[in-house]
Each structure stands twice: as structure tokens, then as C-alpha cells.
Amino acid sequence: MLKGKKIVLGVSGGIAVYKASALTSKLVQAGAEVKVIMTDSAQNFVTPLTFQALSRNPVYTDTFDEKDPRYIAHIDLADWADMFLIAPATANILGKMANGIADDMLSTTLLATEAPVYIAPAMNVHMYAHPAVKENMVTLEKWGYRFIEPGEGYLACGYVGKGRLEEPETIVHVLEEQYKNTGWLQGKKVLVTAGPTQEKIDPVRYFTNPSTGKMGFSLAAEAARLGAEVTLIAGPVQLDTPAGVHRVDVTTAEEMFGAVTTHFPTQDIVIKSAAVADYRPKVVHEEKMKKEPGDYAVEMERTKDILKYLGENKQHQFLLGFAAETTNPIAYAKQKLENKRLDAIVVNNIKQPGTGFAHDTNTVVYINRALEEISLPLMQKTEIAGHIFQQIKKDIEGE
């Protein structure tokens, strides 16, 4: 899948630079044309001559070293690339990228490119967990950069933990999978719901849930990256709209139902990841309720079951539901899959560490109509979105 692809490999300064030389060789063996940019720090570990020999191309190290006077090197390289890969990506280069700093050849070229950027971090386990580094990675994810998570193991600093650059073979496999699936949704329409709903009691109080919409927004961003025309129907969340996505904001379950059913007939794939309220107050007070002695009971009534309606009325659509559970998640998900006539369902146990609402990570199981269970370990929700669409593609194409 990488044959003929033009890849710029950005190498920043860490002990994992030695793996980047092996990665260069693997990419070339896979048929890619590779051009390498090295930071000053990276050159303290491995010389540019090594990468030149392995890539069979000149190595770029200096913004002002113009190898061809007809072109501005960092602009020409940025335009040339089909893909950018940063490996190893140190905490320093992540900080530069997240803050728009362009003070060397690598950071300057990164600002100028419109090619997709893949980042393979490598650093000390405590550096990787530092709030500044984590915030920079979240920022870059929001902008559409994709991460190849580091592995866990013995690090050069002597610690054992997460921060080791992923193996070159694995990185090449990830890139091949990305190219394999890129663009398969071209010409398709995808509808994603995300976030919570709010059901008012009075002007200052409402029932809701902790959903932040991160999973749904990640799915919408991934669908757009794969070429789809994406409609994102979002409850009240504090997230930026992904690039290339049409967003419709709603507040209540009734508004969510109206927006979804309006767009549903023209869609090819519908993913309902929103955490919609099952009940709402039967009476909504127009004035703020005053505190009174004793207890107070709120009578609730059922909201419309959006997913059930979609299952009963689908024609050509592929319908994917979500289930956040605490008890017997697989059994309940399979029951929901059948009862609501879904094509697939994604379920997770929100009691597991690092999963569920408000987290950037999740652990899920994808179950299709054949009751095949594809388990995804703890990973970033942006990564999960990519895996979910790979499974949808397999189900639609009958692989």
C-alpha cells in the first residue's frame, strides 16, 4: 500500500533515533520514497549520512541550506509529501507543533505542509505522562494529527513503562492500513450523534449525564478524513467542530430525535454514539422552583427511542449503536443489537479504569450481526474511531 508514496520522515532527538534508521529502511523496502529531516539533537545520536544511505535521498538538517536555488526547500518538501511521519517524536517537537513554533527545518516544514501527519512519540515514562505533554497531544489530535502510540517496556533511562518508540514493522503496518482505508467513504453520507442531552425541570435545573461527546466527535472526524460527507448532531458539549464536518447543535432528546430523523433518509451510515436521556420530567416549570421543607419527587416520562425508530425505519443504511454498561455488557449489547435491528454495536464497561465518559481513552468491543466480537484494548478514542470504521468497512463489503 505504500508503493510510490512520498513520505517525509521527521527525526527528532532521542535515543530512539536508532530505530528511525531501521524504520527508513522498512519504508523504502515497502516501496515508499522517503526524504528525511533531522533536528540538530537527532544528529547527536545518528549521522545524516546513515539516513542518506538508507533513503537514497539527501537529508535535510538546516532551514537555510537551500539544495536547489530554484525552490525554497521547506516549502518544496512540504508540498512534495503525501504523508509526514514524525518518529521519534520527542516532548520538545510536540510542544513546538502544538504551539506553532517554527525555529528549525522540521518544525518549519510541518507548519507548511497540508499532508496528513502521523506522530510516533518516544520519551521517558514521566515525560509522556506530564500534563503539558498530554495537553499538547490533545491539541494536535483536535487538529487532525494522528498518533502511533508508544509501547511499554524497558526504556533507555532505566525506567520500565510507556514511552518506547513503537517497532518499525508496526509503524509501517499502521501506515499501510491507513492508506488501505483512506477515501473509501468518498461519495458516502455519514451521520454521527454525540454528547448528552439536557432535560429541563425548570429554568435553572435539568437532568443530564457525564457524556463529553469525545467519542462521537472522533468518529465524525475520522469519517470526514475517509472522504465522507459528515453530519454531526451534537448535544451540549464543549468541543470544536472537526474539519470538514457539518454540525447541528441540539439540547433535548426531542430535538435530537427531530434532527436525526430529518437527516436519516439520505444517509449511508448512521452512528448513534450520543448518550440520550431515556426519561424526562413530565412537568417543566416555567419559573424557578423554590426550596420547600421535606422531600420532592419528580415524575418522569419516557423519551422517544431514537435508535429503535431508526432500526424499524432503515432502508439501505448501515446502523451502528453504542452501549455504555456496568453489568454483563456483552450480553446486553447482543440483546440491544437484536431488539433494535442494528447492523453492529459498540459496547464498553464504564467501570473499567480509563474508559467511558470524559476520558480521552476507552476499551470497547465491536459486535456485528454475525455476533463476531472484536475487542479493542485501552487506546485513544481517536484511534478507536479508526478501528471502528475499519470494521464497518469489512461488514459492508462482506469481508
Kindly list the catalytic residues.
Answer: 157
Number of Cβ within 10 Å of residue 59's Cβ equals 22
The C-alpha cell of 121 is what? 512519540
Q: Where are the alpha helices (DSSP H) in 204-244?
A: 214-225
Q: How far apart are CA 112 and CA 342, in angstroms?
A: 43
Q: How far apart are CA 77 and CA 343, in angstroms?
A: 44
Report the run of H or E that residue 393 belongs to, with start and end.
helix 381-397
Of the candidates 110, 85, 115, 116, the one whose C-alpha atom is nearest the C-alpha of residue 23 is 85
What is the residue-wise DSSP string for 42-79? GGGTS-HHHHHHHHTSPEE--TT--SSTTS-HHHHHHH
CB 223 within 8 A of CB 236: no
CA atoms within 13 Å, Cβ hemisphere of 299? 4
Q: How far apart are CA 18 and CA 42, in angstroms?
A: 10
